[in-house]
Every structure is written in C-alpha cells, then in structure tokens.
Amino acid sequence: MIVTGPSRNAATFSLVICSSADSVGDFVRIAGPVVGTTYVVTKADPSNHLTMPAVGNLIQKLTATTGIMQKQGLCAVSGVPALAVGKMVFVGLDGKATSIAPPASSSSTLFSMVQSIGVAAAVDKVELQIRPMFVKTRI
C-alpha cells in the first residue's frame, strides 16, 4: 500500500520575533500576541510555571530579534549532552533539550513544569512532538 499526501510528522516552521537574549537551540514559549502570522516568543523556563509551555525550538536567528522556530518534525540540536536515543526529551533548566526531566521547584510560589517535547532520534536529533501537556511539581 502506498500512502500519499502530507506526513503528520512533516517539519513545520514559523517566523518569530524573539528576545536578543534568546539563542539558537532554545525552546521558546509564546510571549505576546501574534503579529500578522509571526509569533512573538521568548525562552521557556521549566523552573517557573509562568514561562511555560514551550511551543517550538529556535533553530535560526535572522537578526538579533527575529528568527525561525521549528514546531514539529526531526530537529537537530547542538550544544547539549548526548541524548538517549529512543527516550523522551524534555525542556531543560537552560531552555535546551535534555534527556533528564528537570527537578521539582523548592519555591513556595512557583511550580516547576516538566514538559516532554519529543523523542530522541539520535544523540543530536529530536523528533519534535511538542504538546502543551506537562506535570507541575513542587517539593
């Protein structure tokens, strides 16, 4: 049987307006209203539930404050420890991909958010399957 048509897992990309502090490889969250068809994003931080969930990975900076975000599909990641192939990948405390779920927050007012963003397809590639589902944790 031959299946034709677009793949459910085809890579999808969006232009973004981002912070000059955001860097390639950061998982980003919606930070403001969409401008036309361009998302306004900034780095996600799982140690603070107010800065989650992540919606994509900043894969390229076009200028200091614009870039390209990948939302789905096979995504190369760099500057991170080797990922465990076949295992879930999370947004790490540094905003990058990690095979280790971030720890619970010790704050009495902030919750940590553990968000799986996909599965490691190689030590440096993630099959992005970003969903806004996560577990809040607090010690």
* pLDDT tens digits for range 82-95: 999 999 999 999 99
Model confidence, pTM: 0.87
pLDDT tens-digit map of 99-138: 998 887 666 566 778 899 999 999 999 999 987 766 655 5
Dihedrals φ, ψ of 45, to 5°? -135, 105
